[in-house]
Amino acid sequence: MLGLLLLVLVFMVFQKPEHMMDSITAIIKNMIESGRWGITWIIFILLLVFSLTQPRVPKEELFFYFISSFFSLLLAISYFRAPFRLGWGDSANRMLTHILPIIILYVLMKTTKGLSKNGLFGKKAVSNKIL
């Protein structure tokens, strides 16, 4: 299903290359510099890359498909409207607020599972005794 969506996106890019590139550029610039996110997206993209080295979590493929489908559909929306623009008021920038909590949840699940497997948060580090 995701492959079909990516194929449709490639078709859309070939149909309106300048339009789609303007939207992609606006999304990236909003995430990094002009969308009032600060360094939020830079940190979570780095953590997302780091989490790929951590052990798998149950139903991890659902997170992968949901996150990648979200960004694919975000680009597909731009095909049928004016290109996205810079600034907090842009609809793509506001839509990013919907996916960020899912990315945070995924990164936290991956990193905490990896850290507990490596012994940083293992049984010896955490005590369940009541004082």
Residue 80 domain-assigned?
yes
Provide DSSP, 40-82. HHHHHHHHHHHHTTSPP-TTHHHHHHHHHHHHHHHHHHHHTSS
Residue 39 domain-assigned?
yes
Q: Is the pLDDT confidence value at 96 over 80?
A: yes
Domain count along the chain: 1
Residue 52 domain-assigned?
yes
Look over the chain and give the mean of its residue pLDDT values, rounded to a whole number: 87
The per-residue pLDDT for range 47-91, each reduced to its tens digit, is: 988 888 888 888 899 999 999 999 999 999 999 999 999 999 999
Cβ–Cβ < 8 Å for 95, 36 = no
Residue 59 domain-assigned?
yes
Read off the pLDDT band of 131 (50, 70, 90). low
Other CB atoms within 10 A of residue 60 CB = 14
Range with lowest mean pLDDT among 37-46, 110-119, 121-130: 121-130
pLDDT, residue 53, reads 87
Domain that holds residue 40: 17-117
